[in-house]
Structure 1
Amino acid sequence: MVRRSMNRNQLHDQNLKFVLQQIFNNHPTSRIEISHQLNLNKSTVSSLYNTLMADGYLTELGLGEASNAGGRKPTLIEINRNYGFTLTFDLGYRHLHALVTYLNGQVWKYDRIETKGQSIHEMIDQINHYIAAVQAEDTTSHGLLGICFSIHGIVMDNQIKTSPFIDMAGIDLEQVFSTMYQVPVVLENEANLSAVYERDFNGARDLNSTVTVSIHRGIGAGIILQRELFRGEHGDAGEIGQTVVSIEMDDAGAGHPVHAEDISSEDAIIQQLEQKKGITNLDRTQLVALYQKQDADTLAVLTKFTTAIGGLIYNLMRSLDPDAFFINSPLVEEIPTLLMQIRTVYQNLAHNALTIDLTQNARLATVLGGCSLITHRALGLDHYELNFERPATETTA
C-alpha cells in the first residue's frame, strides 16, 4: 500500500493535536518538556503553543525549576479549565444523573434528579432547566462545549436503536440538543461508558483490553480491545444480558430461552427474592439488610447470582481474552463478599487468576466515561489517548 505524505497544513494540524494532548496528559508541563516528548524542535513547539494560547486553551502557571544544566526557568502551562464546560446526562429509569465538568476534566458539580414515571418529554424539560441553571452560574469564557448522553440501550451511529427502560417516543436526542445549543452531542451505551471510565480515569490505562460487566436493571458489557471501544458492526457488541443460558420446556413441549439477565440482573435478583418471600416492592437497601442478617432465602438467591456471573465472565474470557474484567454493580459494591464468590466461581472454571475487580465509585462511572468522550470531542482529539484524574468520591448532590 502506498503511504501518502501529509501536506504542510495536515502536518501542522496533527502536531497541534499532539501538543494539546501532551499538555492535557502532563499537567503542568512546559514547552521544553513537550519538545523532548514529541521530538519536535523548540521553534515548532513555540509556534504551536502560541496558537493554542491565542485560542484560549492554555493557562500559564508561572516559572518552574531550571534543569540541572542551568539556563532559563521554563514557564509551566496546563489546560485552561475556565475555557468552558461539558455536560453528561445518564438517562436512568429512576433518576437523571447529571455531571458538569470543566474542559480539563475536573468535576464542577454532580446532581441526581428524580425522574421515575416521567416521559421522555418531561425528562427533556428537566434537562433544559438544568442546563439553564448551570449556564446562569457559569463564569467560563466559552460556556457549554458539548453534551453526552448515557443510554441504557443499544446505540449505533449516535442514534438509539433500542431503549428497553425508557420510551424514547421517536425523539432524536442528537438533533434536539445540537440544534438548541449548537454544540456537539454524543450518545453512548452506559456499559460502554463504564469501560471508557476504567480506561481513562480508573487505572486501567496500562491494560490493552478490558471488559466491564455492568449489572443494573439489565446486564451489559463494555468492551475495550487494543485501547479502543468495540461496539460491533451494528452496536450490539456487549449485549450479554441477552445471552441464552438455558432452554426451558413448557408442558406443550415448546422451548423458551432463558437469558442471562432473566436470572442475574439486579431486577431479576429482587424478583426472585420477592417470589420466595411472597412480598412486593423490595429494593436494594432491603436486600442488603436481609443479606446482613444472613437470611437463608437471600443467601440462596445471591449464590445463584454469583454462580451465573462467574460463568458469564468465564464465557467472555473464552471469547475475548482480555487483560482484566471489571464489575460495575452497586449491589456488589454494597456486598463485597459477592465479588470474592464471583472470583471463586471463575477460577474453578478457568483455573487461572485473571484480574476481576470492582469498578470504584460506580455511581459516577458512566457519567465520567461520558465526560471523557465529550471532552475528546470538544478538544478535537477523538482517538487520541487522554488521561483523566479520578475525582474525589464526594461531589455536589
Structure 2
Amino acid sequence: MVQRSMTRNQLHDQNLKFVLQQVFNNHPTSRIEISHRLHLNKSTVSSLYNTLMAKGYLKELGYGDASTAGGCKPTLVAINQDYGYTLTFDLGYRHLHALATTLNGKVWKYDRVQTRDQSIHEMVTQIKKYIGNVQAEDESAHGLLGICFSIHGIICDNQIQTSPFINMEDVDLVKIFSTAYHVPVVLENEANLSAIYERDFNGARELNSTVTISIHRGIGAGIILHRSLFRGEHGDAGEIGQTVTRLEIDGEGQATPVRAEDISSEDAIIHQVEEQKGLHDLGREDIVRLYRQHDTDLAVILQRFTIAISSLLYNTMRTLDPDAFFINSPLIEELPELLEQIRAGYRRLAHQDFPIELTTNARLATVLGGCSVITHQVLGLNGYALKFERIPEKF
C-alpha cells in the first residue's frame, strides 16, 4: 500500500486532537507539559492551545509551580466542564438508567426510572421528559452535546438489528432523538459498553485485550482486542449466550439446542428456582434471600451456574486469548462467593489461574461506558485513548 504524507491541514487537525487528548488525560496540565509529551515545539502547542480555548473546550485554572530551573510559572488548564453535557440511557427491561456527565466525563446526575411492562413508545416519552428536566437544570454554555443509548441487543451501523427483551416496533431512536435535539445519537450493545467501561474507567486500563462477560437477563460479551472494541462484521461478536452447550433429542429424534443463557443467565436461574419450588414472579432479591437462608435447591442450581460460567470462560479463553476476564453481574456482586467458585471451576479446566475479576459498580457500567463513547464522539476523538476518572465503588 502506498502511504501518502499528510497535508498541512491534516497535520494541524491531528495535532489539535493530540493536544485535546493530552488535556483530557492529564488534567490539570500546561502548555509546556503538552509540548514535552508530544515532542512539539512551544509555538505550535500555543497555537493549537489558543484554537481549543477559542472553541471553549479548555478552562484555565491559574498558575502552577515553576520548574526547578526557575522561570515563569505555567498556566494550568483542564477540560471546561461547563462547556456542556452528554446523556446516556440504558434501556433495561425493568428500569431505565439515565446518566448525565459533563464534557470532562464527570458524573452530574444519575437516576433509575421504573419502566417494567412499558412499551418502547412509553419509554421514549419518559426519556424526553427526563431530558426536559435536565435541560431545565442546566447552566452550561452549550447544553446537551450528545446522547448514547445502551441496548440489550445487536447493533450494526448504529441501528438495532435485534432486541430480544424490548419490542422496538420499528422505532428509530437515532432519527427521533437527533431530530428532536440536533445532537449526535449513538447506539451500542450493553455488553460492549461494559467492556469500554473497564477499559476507560476501571480495571482494564493497562491491559491490551479483555473480555467482559455481562450476565443479566441474557449473557453477552464485550470484546476489547488491542485496546479497540471488536464488534465483528455484523455486530454479532460477543453473543456468547447463544453458544450451544448441548443438543436434547426427543422421542422422535428431533434435536433441540440448549444454549448457554438457557441455563446460566440470571433469568435462567430464577426460572429454575421457580420451577423447583412452584413459585412465581421471583426476582434477584429473592435469589439472594434464599442463598442467605442456605436453601439446598438453590445451592444445586447455583453450582450448575458456576460450572457453566467457568466452562464459558474457558472456551472463550481458548478462542480469544485475552489478558483478563471481567464479569458484570449484579447477582454475583451481591453474592461474591460465586466468583470464587467460578475461578475454581476455571482452574480445574485450565490447570492454572487466570485473572477473572468482578466489575465494580455494575449498575453504572453500561451508562459509564456510554459516557466514554459519546464523549469521544462529541470531542471528535474517536480512535484516541481517553482516560476517565475512576468512580468510587460506593457511588
Question: Do both proteins adopt the same fold according to a TM-score greater than 0.5, normalized to the shorter chain?
Answer: yes
Determine the C-alpha separation between the residues in 2 that align with 1:291 and 1:204: 31
User: What do residues 244-273 of structure 1 show as CA deviations (whole Å, max 9, x unaligned)?
Assistant: 000001121111000000000000000101
Tell me the equivalent position of 1:64. Answer: 64
The yes-or-no answer on 1:276 pairing with 2:276 is: yes
Determine the C-alpha separation between the residues in 1 that align with 2:283 and 2:89: 24
Q: Are the aligned partners of 2:97 and 2:113 in contact in 1 as well (CA < 8 Å)?
A: yes
Q: Are the aligned partners of 2:60 and 2:77 in contact in 1 as well (CA < 8 Å)?
A: yes
1:394 is displaced (CA, Å) by 5.0
Determine the C-alpha separation between the residues in 1 that align with 2:14 and 2:237: 31
1:203 is displaced (CA, Å) by 2.8
Q: TM-score when scaled to structure 1?
A: 0.99
Tell me the equivalent position of 2:359. Answer: 359
Q: Are the aligned partners of 1:87 and 1:147 in contact in 2 as well (CA < 8 Å)?
A: yes
1:278 is displaced (CA, Å) by 1.1
SS at match of 1:14: helix
Determine the C-alpha separation between the residues in 2 that align with 1:233 and 1:272: 35
Matches within 5 A, 1:1-397: 1-393=1-393
1:292 is displaced (CA, Å) by 1.0
SS at match of 1:40: coil
- Counterpart code for 1:26: N
SS at match of 1:122: helix
User: What do residues 29-83 of structure 1 show as CA deviations (whole Å, max 9, x unaligned)?
Assistant: 0000000000000000000000000110000110000111111100000000000
1:391 is displaced (CA, Å) by 2.2
Structure 2, unaligned stretches of length 5 or more?
A: none
User: What do residues 358-384 of structure 1 show as CA deviations (whole Å, max 9, x unaligned)?
Assistant: 000000000000000000000000010
User: What do residues 268-287 of structure 1 show as CA deviations (whole Å, max 9, x unaligned)?
Assistant: 00010111111111111111
Q: Are the aligned partners of 2:314 and 2:346 in contact in 1 as well (CA < 8 Å)?
A: yes
SS at match of 2:97: strand
Q: Are the aligned partners of 1:86 and 1:102 in contact in 2 as well (CA < 8 Å)?
A: yes
Determine the C-alpha separation between the residues in 2 that align with 1:168 and 1:346: 38
- Counterpart code for 2:304: K
Determine the C-alpha separation between the residues in 2 that align with 1:332 and 1:391: 19
Determine the C-alpha separation between the residues in 2 that align with 1:48 and 1:166: 46
Determine the C-alpha separation between the residues in 2 that align with 1:126 and 1:348: 48
1:393 is displaced (CA, Å) by 4.3
Determine the C-alpha separation between the residues in 2 that align with 1:155 and 1:53: 36
Determine the C-alpha separation between the residues in 2 that align with 1:180 and 1:268: 39
Q: Are the aligned partners of 2:360 and 2:393 in contact in 1 as well (CA < 8 Å)?
A: no
Q: Are the aligned partners of 1:147 and 1:186 in contact in 2 as well (CA < 8 Å)?
A: yes
Q: 1:325 to 1:368 in 2, by over 3 A?
A: same
1:143 is displaced (CA, Å) by 0.4
Q: Are the aligned partners of 1:197 and 1:365 in contact in 2 as well (CA < 8 Å)?
A: yes
1:136 is displaced (CA, Å) by 0.5
Determine the C-alpha separation between the residues in 1 that align with 2:354 and 2:285: 31
Q: TM-score when scaled to structure 2?
A: 0.99
1:293 is displaced (CA, Å) by 1.3
Determine the C-alpha separation between the residues in 2 that align with 1:223 and 1:161: 19
Aligned length: 395
RMSD of the TM alignment (CA)?
A: 0.7
Taking only the aligned residue pairs, the percentage that are identical comes to 71
- Counterpart code for 1:66: A
- Counterpart code for 2:164: P
Q: Are the aligned partners of 1:146 and 1:183 in contact in 2 as well (CA < 8 Å)?
A: yes
Determine the C-alpha separation between the residues in 2 that align with 1:325 and 1:193: 15
Q: Are the aligned partners of 1:106 and 1:391 in contact in 2 as well (CA < 8 Å)?
A: no
SS at match of 1:253: coil
Structure 1, unaligned stretches of length 5 or more?
A: none
